[in-house]
Every structure is written in C-alpha cells, then in structure tokens.
Chains A and B, each alone.
Chain A
Amino acid sequence: MKTLTIDAKDIHYTPLNQQIRAAIADGAKEITLNNVLGQRFIGDGLRGDDVTITVNGVPGGDLGMFMSGPTLIVHGNADHAPGNTMDKGRVIIHGSAGDAVAHSMRGGRVYVRDNIGYRGGIHMKKYLEKRPILVVGGSARAFLGESMAGGLVIVLGLGGVPPIAEQGVGSGIHGGEIFVRGPVDNLCLGNGTKQAPVTEEERAMIRPIIEDFAQSFGIDSTPLLAAEYTRIAAVSARPFANKYTLE
C-alpha cells in the first residue's frame, strides 16, 4: 500500500491540502500529517473512499468539511465543526472537539472520544442510504442536536462526566434521534422534543455503532452495551404545520 508522510509544520492549509490531493491522485492510501497546528479545512471537499489520513497534532476548524469518502484519524483535539456538511467517510478524534461538531452532516460518521462543545449535531439530515452518525464518548454541551432533520447522535458520558447537563437538547428537531446513556433531566430538553427509554429494537440498532466506536478507541464496550439509554426525538416531524394561515 502506498503511504506518505507530510510534515505540516508551518505550512498553510491550502498547500497542505494540495499536497494531500496530489498524494491521493498519485495513489497514496495512507497519509500521515505530522506537526499539525491549527490548519483549518483539512480534507475539505476531499474524495477517496479507501484513503486514511492520520492527523498528528491539533487541526483547526472545519476538519473534513464537504468531505466525501476518506477517513480522518486525529490524535489530538479538534476545533469547531469537524465533519461540517460532510457527505461520506469518517472523522475519528482521539480527544475533544469544539462547537457545531457534525454541523449539517449528511452522511458518514464522526466519533469524538472525549467531549464536544455547544450545538453538536446541529441540523444533521438523512436521505435514503445516507445517514450521518455522531458518537461522543464524553459529554456534549447545550443545544445538542438542535434543528436536527435526520441522522443519529449518541452521547455516552464516559470518564465520569454526565453526558448532558445543559439545556436546549434537540431544540427545533424535526427528524432523526439522539441517544443518551442514562436518564435525562427534562430540564435539558429543548422545545418540541420528547424522551423515552430505548426499546429493544432501538438498542439492537445502536449496538453495532457503539461497538464500532469502542473498537476505534480501544475501549471496552461491555458496560456501554449493558447500560440504559434514553432516546430523544421530535414531538412532530412538522413543527410548522399549524403556524400559518393564507393571506
């Protein structure tokens, strides 16, 4: 397999992405970026289903934006909106990430081992076989899954942190679902949401995803699979249905 290592020290994001694109065009399947420090847009608009890019360091915002295919593995924290409007592929973050993680994501997976900031999974959406998945190992801050239109968010609360402790979860949600390990205080729920314990069917549905997440980070999945989960979803798929009258 063709591999390549790029030293990203002091390189601006555009030439860095150009080098990545050139390497993929040249047939590279495994690319390692060392000394990444704040470069934004890594993997932006990148294609290549069989390409894996390992990012050593701390990438800047919009990691994997509009990405369609590759896998990005980050050994470090990520800034805001990794997986923004991503189409296909994976972003696996061995650390924490900032606000608006997986913003408007329409396909693929984003796994964050530790915690995420505000508005994670905002306006994710699903179409046919494209179903975006965001899994957070630690906790998510306020307005998780705001305006969600489709897809799946799972928050596990590992490492002794409560998975969610702030308000606005699912505000304006009209599709998709959020699973949280353990009970959820109603005070955390946003307008137009409802919660219920998971059914056996739902548990079976999230099981392989949790297993895959645990495997990605070398975590023991047994306690996660045995745990209780709460499912948060929209009260109505049509929140605007009774809002308007004709002129």
Chain B
Amino acid sequence: MSIGSTPLRFRVTIDPDRCMNCGRCIENCSYGVYRKEGDSIRINSRNCVACHRCLAFCPRDAIEIEEKPGDYRSHPVWTREIREAVFNQAKTGRIISGGMGNALPWPIIFDRLVLDACQVTNPSIDPLREPMELRTYIGKKPSSLSIRERPGKDVELLTKLTPNLQIETPIMIGHMSYGAISLPAQQAMARAVHRIGTFMGTGEGGLHQSLYPYQKNMIVQVASGRFGVDIDYLERGAAIEIKIGQGAKPGIGGHLPGEKVCADVACTRMIPEGSDAISPAPHHDIYSIEDLKQLVHGLKEATEWKKPVFVKIAAVHNTAAIAAGIARSGADAVVIDGFRGGTGSAPVVFRDHVGIPIEAAVASVDAKLRSQGIRNEVSIIASGGIRQSADVAKIICLGADAVYIGTSALVAMGCRVCGTCNRGMCAWGIATQKPELTKRLDPETNAVQVENLIHGWTLELGELMGAAGINSIESLRGNRDRLRGYMLDEGLLNVLDVKTVGA
C-alpha cells in the first residue's frame, strides 16, 4: 500500500468578497499555487511554502494562509515533522535537505539573559547628549607597546601594528555567496555596508565585477573549494576569511547544484556553467592547526601582509580549544558560527542537530583565550542566530568583538524565512538565480532597508549602553556583570560566567 498524501502544510484561501481578480497573486507566486480558470482564480495549496509574496502584494488583503490545517493525532514523541520525515525517506531513500537555519525548538539562551541598567547610584548616559563610541577595530592588538620620546612633547610608536578593520558599528553582514543568493541581493547589502562603514562577506563564490566599487567593504572568503579565488580577488578584499566550517552544517562541505550555476555565477566562481560546485568537507591543504597556520601565512604573504585574515569555524563541542589554536595560527580574527546559522541548503539532520549555540561558544572561547593570555591575538566575531540589537549587546557582554548577521539582513529585504532557499525559486528574488525573480529586488531600495535595519540596531545598542552607564563598546565587551541569567541552569551559568538574576 502506498503512503499516499500527507496533510497540507498550508491552506491558502481567497476571500471572494474582497478579491478583485487582478491576478497579482498569480504573477507573484513562483511556486505555482495560483492559476486562472475562466474568470476565477484556482488554488493549489499543496505548492504553498508560506513565503507570503502573494499576501504582500495582494491589493485587497484577500489572501489568507493557514499553517497545518489538517491535524495528525497529537503526540509528544511522534511529532508531525518526525512522521513526515519518515514518510519522505520511506518514499525516496535519500538525505533530507532544507534551507535556512535550525528548525527545532531548542531553548534560546539569549532569551534567558537579561541586561542591566543604572538606577540611583550611577547615572545613565543619554546618547542624544553624549557621544557613544561604537567604533570597533577587528584584528590583533599588541600585547604591549613600546614608545620612544621625541624631543619636544611628542612620542613615537615603536611597536609595529598589525592591520585592523575599522567598523563604525559592531554589526557586519556575514558570508552569503553569489550563487546561494542573487546578485541584486549582494549588491543591495554591499551598498548598505559601504554607506554605514561596515563590512560584508562575499561567501565562497568569488566577487562579482559589479561589486568592485564596494570592495573596500568586502571580506573575501577562501573556502575548501577555492571557488573564485585568485590573486586579484585576494587583493580586492579588505580582509580575507578562511572558511573552515559553517554553523548550519558543521563538518560537511557545500554543494551548489549546477542549476544555480548560470553564466554569471560560473564566471564569478570560475567554474564551467551548469556544473556542480562541490566544496569538500575539509580544506585538503589543512589537516591540522599547523596546516591552518600555513594557509594563514600563505594568504598574508600573497597580499604582502596588508590584510587581516579571519578564520571561521562552526561552533562545536571543543570550539574553545580550537579557537585557541586559531589564535596561535597568525589569524587576526576568529569567526564562530553558532548552530542557528542560516544556509542556502543543508542536510536537515546537520542543520537541526549538529553544533552548539553561539552564546555558549563565544563565552567559552573568550574565557579560554583570556586564561591563556592570548585574547589580544584575535578578535571574536559571533555569527549564527543574531536576531536583534539585544542579542548583539548580550553577545558582546559574553566576549564578542562584533557580530555577523545573515538571515536578518535577508529579512530586511523581504525574506519571510520560509526555509525553501534550497529550491532556488525564492519569490523574493533573494535565494534564486532565475532572472525573472532576481529582478524583483531593486538594489537601491533594498540597500536602504538593510541600512535602516543596521542603523536602528546601532541606535538601540547606544541606548542600551547609555542606560547601563557605558559610553564605549570597549567597556561592554566581556562585561558579564551586565548580564544575569534568568532560569538558566548552574552548569550553563558557569560556562557563560554569568550570575543568576537576583545575585
């Protein structure tokens, strides 16, 4: 007996009293939910992914989308998702792949941490009246300075400083490659970071020519597939990032299917059009920390020691020890990508089950580096699951220097976190290479939205700092006293090095 159909995930209905038959829903839906039959609009709810493109552009608010209209018998162990995964694999015998980040309802540590504010004994600071120093420098800091006095009052710095990135707010945009997302999406974010004075990552997809004007705000990535990597690319970036792992799929490589490798993506990645771009799980020239050091030095030597080199790893069990090795490899920053990080496509079993949350990873890395006296050797960039300014403030208190955002920048451009990026049909023109869809994005309009988001968060960060009586991000960094854990267990409080509320 075949398994047959499973209940609908979404049911789409159109209110006939409101609908004016304009057909915009048909035009906008890239998943084929709507079609015209005679005078009426017919609906195939099974195709719906709840990307809300139709809903956003229906002029009459006529569309309703309901999640999980058909119930299974509820069961705490055999959830709907578990049962449907079994059906899927019983039918196909394959690995289940999905888009976006971790979709299991793991508790979120950020939401169990509260921030502090001044009352009576120390005054808060009004960011409108007093300057708030949010400027951050990413890179190595010298452990000591040697200075020579010049005749007169002047002094000369004898210590040779290592290049740092100067960012005007501790918020950068992480690596989303051209291929995983569309060119207009990258262009919009590039304009935004350029105007704000922050940075974004290219992802492992090379740097498209149209982004050259923004290259001083781009961090170029070198991943295991070495796609798009040549000396010109390395020289263009403001910094270079070696991608070892990704929070959404720690321990495995990546794979951009040939369907997404159009002529332009092929040119940027430097691979034949329509061919699969396969990034192996490891870098085959890195099997140890010593080998990592070799690549860090190789990249610095190639670019004449002018650029900071970052190393990105997925947050896993031994992240602190690994980060300590990275800090000794000559790298200038370690990027830690938590298990909530987004992805264009990942096996669901990895996306949902492998890795650890960013909060615990950053706290333990910061503590480990401090205990070994090498915290100054690297900046810590937190990535994966940063949703709002409060998360930025909290992760900085836990020891991060700056954050990478990813999903939230996409949401600022319209993404509804529908989680079907891997299908390449994104109705918002973000996670797709289909020209009829990518043209839905306007780089300028979307740049303003991304800029607004980062601007809003930066303002909030200033307010939070002011309320805590802090006027410089330096004083917030690693300042665990400004955090309290609310209903966190003792083990986790110890790892975070945070007291409980009331203590």
Instruction: With A44-B302, A106-B230 as known contacts, state yes or no: A172 contacts B97, CB within 8 Å.
Output: no
The answer to whether A247 and B97 touch across the interface, beta carbons within 8 angstroms, is: yes
- Proximity string of chain A (61-99) to chain B, C-beta cutoff 8 Å, 1 when within and 0 when not: 110011110000000000011001101000000000000
Closest residue of B by beta carbon distance from A86 = B230
Which residues of chain A from 17 to 54 have any CB-CB distance to chain B below 8 Å in the complex?
17-18, 21, 40-41, 44-45, 47
A217 within 8 A of B: no
A contact residues around B308 at 8 Å (CB): none
A contact residues around B226 at 8 Å (CB): 85, 104, 106, 123, 125
The answer to whether B423 and A246 touch across the interface, beta carbons within 8 angstroms, is: yes
The answer to whether A84 and B278 touch across the interface, beta carbons within 8 angstroms, is: no
B88 within 8 A of A: yes
A contact residues around B80 at 8 Å (CB): none
Binds A, one of B171-179, B266-274, B442-450, B479-487: B266-274
Query: What is the CA–CA distance of A172 and B294 in the complex, to the nearest angstrom?
Result: 25
B contact residues around A125 at 8 Å (CB): 226, 270-271
Query: What is the CA–CA distance of A80 and B340 in the complex, to the nearest angstrom?
Result: 37
The answer to whether B302 and A123 touch across the interface, beta carbons within 8 angstroms, is: no
The answer to whether A245 and B96 touch across the interface, beta carbons within 8 angstroms, is: yes
A215 within 8 A of B: no
A115 within 8 A of B: no
The answer to whether B230 and A13 touch across the interface, beta carbons within 8 angstroms, is: no
The answer to whether B284 and A87 touch across the interface, beta carbons within 8 angstroms, is: no
The answer to whether A149 and B284 touch across the interface, beta carbons within 8 angstroms, is: no
Query: What is the CA–CA distance of A132 and B301 in the complex, to the nearest angstrom?
Result: 23
B269 to chain A, nearest CB (A): 8
Query: What is the CA–CA distance of A84 and B305 in the complex, to the nearest angstrom?
Result: 19
A242 within 8 A of B: yes
From A14, A62, A80, A247, name the one whose CB has the most chain B CB atoms within 10 angstroms: A247
Instruction: With A246-B423, A247-B419 as known contacts, state yes or no: A66 contacts B278, CB within 8 Å.
Output: no
A207 within 8 A of B: no
The answer to whether B95 and A245 touch across the interface, beta carbons within 8 angstroms, is: yes
Question: Could you say which of A40, A127, A239, A246 contacts B271, with CB atoms under 8 Å apart?
Answer: A127
B452 within 8 A of A: no
The answer to whether A45 and B231 touch across the interface, beta carbons within 8 angstroms, is: yes
The answer to whether B278 and A247 touch across the interface, beta carbons within 8 angstroms, is: no
A38 to chain B, nearest CB (A): 13
Query: What is the CA–CA distance of A237 and B226 in the complex, to the nearest angstrom?
Result: 19
B46 to chain A, nearest CB (A): 13
The answer to whether A123 and B225 touch across the interface, beta carbons within 8 angstroms, is: yes
The answer to whether B98 and A66 touch across the interface, beta carbons within 8 angstroms, is: no
Question: Could you say which of A81, A237, A242 contacts B275, with CB atoms under 8 Å apart?
Answer: A237
B477 within 8 A of A: no
Question: Could you say which of B271, B294, B420 contacts A61, with CB atoms under 8 Å apart?
Answer: B294
Query: What is the CA–CA distance of A220 and B231 in the complex, to the nearest angstrom?
Result: 36
Q: Interface residues of B, CB < 8 Å — how many?
A: 46
B contact residues around A106 at 8 Å (CB): 226, 230, 270
- Proximity string of chain A (119-134) to chain B, C-beta cutoff 8 Å, 1 when within and 0 when not: 1001101111010000
The answer to whether B88 and A45 touch across the interface, beta carbons within 8 angstroms, is: no
The answer to whether A245 and B301 touch across the interface, beta carbons within 8 angstroms, is: no
The answer to whether A244 and B95 touch across the interface, beta carbons within 8 angstroms, is: yes
Query: What is the CA–CA distance of A100 and B280 in the complex, to the nearest angstrom?
Result: 14
Question: Could you say which of A13, A103, A245 contacts B89, with CB atoms under 8 Å apart?
Answer: A245
A contact residues around B280 at 8 Å (CB): 123, 147, 172
From A126, A127, A242, name the one whose CB has the most chain B CB atoms within 10 angstroms: A127
Query: What is the CA–CA distance of A174 and B305 in the complex, to the nearest angstrom?
Result: 35
Question: Could you say which of A44, A68, A119, A244 contacts B94, with CB atoms under 8 Å apart?
Answer: A244
Query: What is the CA–CA distance of A13 and B24 in the complex, to the nearest angstrom?
Result: 63
From B284, B303, B419, name the one whose CB has the most chain A CB atoms within 10 angstroms: B284
A177 within 8 A of B: no
Closest residue of A by beta carbon distance from B255 = A240
Closest residue of B by beta carbon distance from A84 = B285
Query: What is the CA–CA distance of A115 and B91 in the complex, to the nearest angstrom?
Result: 49
Which residues of chain A from 100 to 115 have any CB-CB distance to chain B below 8 Å in the complex?
100, 103-104, 106
The answer to whether A66 and B305 touch across the interface, beta carbons within 8 angstroms, is: no
Question: Could you say which of A40, A41, A68 contacts B231, with CB atoms under 8 Å apart?
Answer: A68
B400 within 8 A of A: no
The answer to whether A65 and B419 touch across the interface, beta carbons within 8 angstroms, is: no
A175 within 8 A of B: yes
Closest residue of B by beta carbon distance from A60 = B294
Query: What is the CA–CA distance of A44 and B305 in the complex, to the nearest angstrom?
Result: 12
Instruction: With A66-B302, A149-B278, A244-B94 as known contacts, state yes or no: A122 contacts B284, CB within 8 Å.
Output: yes
Query: What is the CA–CA distance of A152 and B195 in the complex, to the nearest angstrom?
Result: 45
B328 within 8 A of A: no
- Proximity string of chain B (279-295) to chain A, C-beta cutoff 8 Å, 1 when within and 0 when not: 01000110000000010
Query: What is the CA–CA distance of A122 and B284 in the complex, to the nearest angstrom?
Result: 8
The answer to whether A14 and B301 touch across the interface, beta carbons within 8 angstroms, is: yes
B contact residues around A80 at 8 Å (CB): 285
The answer to whether B298 and A246 touch across the interface, beta carbons within 8 angstroms, is: no
- Proximity string of chain A (154-187) to chain B, C-beta cutoff 8 Å, 1 when within and 0 when not: 0000000000000000001011000000000000
The answer to whether A103 and B284 touch across the interface, beta carbons within 8 angstroms, is: yes
A230 to chain B, nearest CB (A): 24
Question: Could you say which of A17, A100, A175, A246 contacts B301, with CB atoms under 8 Å apart?
Answer: A17
Closest residue of B by beta carbon distance from A85 = B226
Chain A interface residues toward B at CB < 8 A: 13-14, 17-18, 21, 40-41, 44-45, 47, 61-62, 65-68, 80-81, 84-85, 87, 100, 103-104, 106, 119, 122-123, 125-128, 130, 146-147, 149-150, 172, 174-175, 237-240, 242-247
* 15 contacting pairs across A/B (C-beta < 8 A): A14-B301, A66-B234, A84-B285, A87-B230, A100-B285, A127-B270, A127-B272, A150-B271, A238-B257, A240-B276, A242-B94, A243-B95, A244-B96, A245-B96, A245-B97
Q: Closest 4 CB pairs between A and B?
A: A45-B302, A247-B98, A245-B94, A104-B226
With A40-B301, A41-B302, A104-B284 given, name 18 new contacts (CB 8 A): A14-B301, A18-B304, A41-B297, A66-B298, A103-B284, A123-B280, A123-B284, A125-B271, A126-B271, A130-B270, A147-B280, A175-B275, A237-B276, A244-B96, A245-B92, A245-B97, A247-B99, A247-B422
